[in-house]
Structure 1
Amino acid sequence: MLTKSFTIQNPSGLHARPASLFVQKATSYPCNIYVIKGTKKINGKSIMGLMTLGAAKGDEIILEIDGEREQQAMDELGSLLEAVHE
């Protein structure tokens, strides 16, 4: 299992479009992916779960990934979380 923290860089936070891109990438991996913000831990393959986090620019998000291709998933999803574009 891999765990790593990231800081949201997108000026609009993890709103609909970045959340949708995140879920699309997450579902392409066969591993379990969880996103943690504060006391909330959600399934990273759930668009509704990501939206309920209310992650804004500057917020710390922790990814917890376990299973096949976990390192590749961590690298790619972490890049999405830290992307500056909207």
Structure 2
Amino acid sequence: MPVTDRIVDVRTEIPRIRHQLIFDTFASLDAGTGFVLVNDHDPKPLYYQLAAENAGEFSWDYLEEGPETWRVRIGRLAPA
């Protein structure tokens, strides 16, 4: 049975805790799993932060690109 990705909808969270919630969720992932981030704007700055701190450890796939809702699947890659 396939595993369903957890949904992390940060649209109702106050902005200053959004990134911490996302990073905590990423940190809890096992290799080969992921979650779907739901946001009210393009989370591109988050991509750059993840790339700086977790280069080569994550996948980033847009599922929906606005204009009101963005959905991105963020996965933890298995170690090489």
Q: TM-score, normalised by structure 2?
A: 0.40
Compare CA radii of gyration and give the structure with the larger one.
Answer: 2
Larger RCO: Structure 1 or Structure 2 (Cα < 8 Å, ≥ 6 residues apart)? 1
Q: 1 or 2, which has the higher strand percentage?
A: 2
Q: TM-score, normalised by structure 1?
A: 0.38
